[in-house]
Every structure is written in C-alpha cells, then in structure tokens.
Homo-oligomer: A and B are copies of this chain.
Amino acid sequence: MIKVVKIGGNVVDNPEALARFVKAFAAMEGPKILVHGGGKEATRLSGALGIETKMIEGRRVTDRQTLDVVTEVYAGLINKRIVAMLQAEGCNAIGLSGADANMIKATRRNPEPIDYGFVGDIDPKEVNTEVLKALLESGLTPVFCAITHDGKGTLLNCNADSVASAVARGASRIGETELIYCFEQPGVMLDIDNPDSLVATLTPKGFAELKEQGVVSKGMIPKLTNSFAAIAGGISSVIIQHADAIGTEKGTKLLPDD
C-alpha cells in the first residue's frame, strides 16, 4: 500500500507539532509520499516586504511578487527544512515541486471571473507516474510542496489538498494507494466541541446526508468533496485524522458507497 500523507499549514507552523509528526511519519513502513501546505510564513514574509496579501475564498491571489515569495517559502524554506528533518530521522526524503522532473503539470486558472494570478489547477492525469514509481522503487520518499509549473517556464501556486489528491491518484496507477489528510481535528466531527462525536467511517451517501443536515463545517466540505473524487478516481481509501495520529488508524475513514 502506497501512503500519501498531507499536512496542513498548522502543523508546518508549529515546530513541536512538526517534529512529532516528522518522527512518526519517518517510522511508517512501506512506500510513502508527503505533501505539505504552506503555513503563515509566506504571509509574514510578504508583510515584511510590504507586499499586500489578498485572499479570495481562502485562495491566495498570486501576483508576480507573491509568486516569488511562495516559491521561496514553500519550495525553499519549508520543503528543505522538512526534508532535512526527515533525513535526520533516517527517512530518505527528496523534496520536489511539480516542476522538478516534470512531476506535476498544472494549468493557469482562467482570469475570468476572478483573476487569481499565478494560480494553477491540476489535472490528476498530469502527474508523472513513471518518475514517481522510479523514486519509490529507489526507496526514496517524495516530499511535495504545492508549487507546480505549466511546462512553458512559469511556476504556479496550487492548493496543497489538490496536489495531495492528484499525487495519490497518480500513485494509484502504480499500486494500491491510501490518502491521509492530517489536520488539527481528530477527524470529521458531528459536534466540533465533542470528541465522542467523531465519525468513524463515511461514504458519499453519508456525506450528502451530513451536508443536508448542515453538520459538516464549511472548511471541511471541499476537503471531503476532493477526497470522494479521489476515491472515485481510483484511490482505495482516504483517512482524515489529527497530525498526532499519523501511523495509527484513528480518524475518519472515507469509503466508496458499497
């Protein structure tokens, strides 16, 4: 089983949480891939440089200067920091953007109706399965940031959840693949204040019902929609769990309708 694990910015931003995660991830057996989000460092660096951070519906509007900043922070600082930490734990990590080895080609988003600038969308077919397979067979652990390219020389800022889902769909063409989203909650909760309300398993049908009841939080809906699309696209299962639960079965397991 190939495991594709995504960690969000909240883990990246917290040195202790990141160190705990890295240790547990490094200890996981078998072929594995990490995808990391960006965290607040890009916003901090933009601020220090006097570049205004503009978000629309949770997505960063990426002009030329902002593209430089996110490339510096995501593909440089955070990616290499995580790789060095994994190496220290004995995990032979290799940091990658989508441009490296042409791993992920993206398409710049249509500037109509909203011009997000250098923001890309990924077609899961555009993941370079051949190189991914060769890296995994060499015993390497690919570590992806969410910077990709258009194949014509331009880097693009992508959504890390989408990178994780596309990479997992690419990996599923190599072998059975599980996608694991790590975040700051134990999983999908019926009541965010009640740890006992964790949903153990969820199918598309169950998800539709929860949405109707208004039980799933706004931020969770795109993650779950993405995840079920990944399952429909060939991934065996998706787990949504707390970053501290990595390596365990704790969390919410998403499964296809039977």
CA A134 to CA B136, docked complex, whole Å: 12
Indicate if the CB atoms of A99 and B73 lie closer than 8 Å.
no
Contacts of A149 in B (CB 8 A): 83-84, 87
Known: A71-B80, A92-B101, A92-B102. A85 touches B153 (CB 8 A): yes
- A75-B80 in contact (CB<8A): yes
A87 lies within 8 A of B131 (CB): no
**A155 CB-CB contact with B under 8 Å:** yes
Q: What would be 25 A-B contacts, judged by CB atoms less than 8 Å apart? A: A45-B72, A48-B48, A71-B76, A71-B80, A72-B76, A73-B76, A74-B76, A75-B77, A75-B80, A80-B99, A80-B147, A80-B155, A83-B149, A84-B99, A84-B149, A87-B102, A87-B149, A87-B153, A88-B151, A92-B101, A94-B96, A94-B100, A94-B101, A95-B99, A101-B140
A55 at the B interface (CB under 8 A): no
Give the docked Cα–Cα distance between A17 and B114 (Å).
Answer: 35
**How many angstroms between the C-alpha atoms of A73 and B45 in the bound complex?**
12
Q: Is the interface of A mostly helix, strand, loop or mixed?
A: helix
Point out the residues of chain B lying under 8 angstroms from A71, CB to CB.
76-77, 80-81
- Assess A99 versus B76: contact at CB under 8 Å? Given A81-B71, A131-B138, A138-B134: no
Decide yes or no whether A97 CB sits under 8 A from chain B.
yes
Chain B residues within 8 Å of A79, by CB = 75-76
Q: State in angstroms the CA–CA spacing of A23 and B71 once bound together.
A: 22
| A85 to chain B: closest residue by CB | B153
Binary flags per residue of A119-157, CB closer than 8 Å to B gives 1, else 0? 000000000000100100010100000010101111100
- Tell whether A49 is near chain B: CB-to-CB under 8 Å: yes
Partner of A154, one of B72, B73, B84, B153: B84
Residues of B within 8 A of A147 (CB): 80
Question: Which residues of B have CB within 8 Å of A99?
Answer: 80, 83-84, 87, 93, 95
CB of A184 within 8 A of chain B?
A: no
Alpha-carbon separation in the docked complex, A205 to B167 (Å): 55
**Contact indicator per residue, chain A 147-175, by CB within 8 Å of chain B (1) or not (0):** 10101111100000000000000000000
The 6 closest A-B pairs by CB, nearest first: A76-B76, A88-B153, A72-B72, A72-B76, A94-B101, A75-B76
